[in-house]
Structure 1
Amino acid sequence: MEKELITLYRPVGPKELKLIEDSGWKRFPKRLMEQPIFYPVMNEEYAIQIARDWNVPASGSGFVTKFELPSSYLKKFQVQNVGGPVHDELWVPAEELEEFNDNIVGEIIVTRSFYPEA
């Protein structure tokens, strides 16, 4: 029986993207001390907003990553709305990120890249 998969997105800057690449496109890096929550988002539109509007000014480029996890695993996390209708995300406590990574099915892929306008 095949598991139902949910597609999630994560906007990242170049440093986080390099760490994802170093993992073989399988894992998100551990959170820093000041990052108690890992927050994947529920749709690409929201991820694009963050990558383009926040990551580019903050770090010179922004990327949207896409990945899948079993819906049965994701049920443990409540969807949080943090603004408008597309601003849905999951809040994964940093101490649960390793287990979250273990549940990723397939690879993390980059769907969009953003750079400063020339």
Structure 2
Amino acid sequence: MELTTLYRPVGPNELRKIEDSGWKRFPKRLAEQPIFYPVMNEEYAIQIARDWNVPASGSGFVTKFALPADYLKKYTVENVGGPIHNELWVPAEELEDFNDHIVGGIVVTKSFYKE
């Protein structure tokens, strides 16, 4: 089975919920968050965690996880800026199924804190 590695920048509240799941699931989206958007590369995830999450909440984290490439084909890659700014847009109502397809666990690869 071919796997695709994805990244998700998160703040401390979302990280706590991921940890509470046993490092297996991303939490449900809030009503004002209709899309779950994992990103396609670690460089972009670092930008978000460091430049957005840290100022907003005091810390930011990059998570890494994998799903079967065949499963992910149903989602299109959306570019939201420069060459590295590629995301998958997963409708919030599909997040539970998305979580069910995570192979292995979710790991933290980078941590950033307000100085």
Q: TM-score range by the shorter chain?
A: over 0.9
Give 1:7 shift: 0.2
* Runs of 5+ unmatched residues, structure 2: none
Q: Which residue of 1 aligns with 2:65?
A: 67
Q: Which residue of 1 aligns with 2:18?
A: 20
Alpha-carbon separation, structure 1, partners of 2:37 and 2:74? 14
Secondary structure of the residue that 1:89 maps to in structure 2?
strand
Alpha-carbon separation, structure 2, partners of 1:97 and 1:59? 24
Give 1:45 shift: 0.1
Report the count of equivalent residues: 115
Q: Which residue of 2 aligns with 1:9?
A: 7
Given the two structures, how large is their TM-score scaled by the length of structure 2? 1.00
- Within-5 A mapping of 1:24-43: 24-43=22-41
Secondary structure of the residue that 1:7 maps to in structure 2?
strand
Give 1:116 shift: 1.0
Q: Which residue of 2 aligns with 1:56?
A: 54
Q: Which residue of 2 aligns with 1:87?
A: 85
Give 1:11 shift: 0.1
Percent identity between matched residues is 83
Given the two structures, how large is their TM-score scaled by the length of structure 1? 0.97
Alpha-carbon separation, structure 2, partners of 1:106 and 1:17? 17
Secondary structure of the residue that 1:111 maps to in structure 2?
strand
CA RMSD of aligned residues (A): 0.3
Alpha-carbon separation, structure 2, partners of 1:99 and 1:57? 32
Alpha-carbon separation, structure 1, partners of 2:61 and 2:10? 5
Runs of 4+ off more than 2 Å: none
Q: Which residue of 1 aligns with 2:98?
A: 100
